[in-house]
Amino acid sequence: MTVMNIPILIANILTLLAFLVHTFVGDRELKLIEPRDQPDRKFQKREKWTMARSGWHWISLDLLFATIGLGIINFTDYLGSENLLLSILALYFLGYGFAWLTGIIISKSFPGNFIKLGQWILLWLISGLIYWGIQ
Query: Would you say 101 and 26 are in contact if contact means Cβ atoms under 8 Å apart?
Result: no
pLDDT of 77: 85
Query: Would you say 104 and 117 are in contact if contact means Cβ atoms under 8 Å apart?
Result: yes
Question: Domain spans of the chain?
Answer: 6-35+43-134
CA 58/CA 37 separation, integer angstroms: 27
Identity of the amino acid at 102: T
Query: Would you say 11 and 133 are in contact if contact means Cβ atoms under 8 Å apart?
Result: yes
CA 90 to chain CA centroid, Å, is 12
Strand ranges inside 10-105, DSSP E: none
pTM over 0.95: no
Write the CB contacts of 30 (distance below 8 Å, at least 6 apart in sequence): 49, 52, 53, 56
CA 8/CA 82 separation, integer angstroms: 11
Averaged pLDDT for residues 3-28: 95
Three-class SS state of 77:
coil
Averaged pLDDT for residues 117-125: 96
pLDDT digits (tens, 9 = 90+) for 69-113: 999 999 988 888 899 999 999 999 999 999 999 999 999 999 999
Three-class SS state of 46:
helix
pLDDT of 44: 86
Query: Would you say 26 and 60 are in contact if contact means Cβ atoms under 8 Å apart?
Result: yes
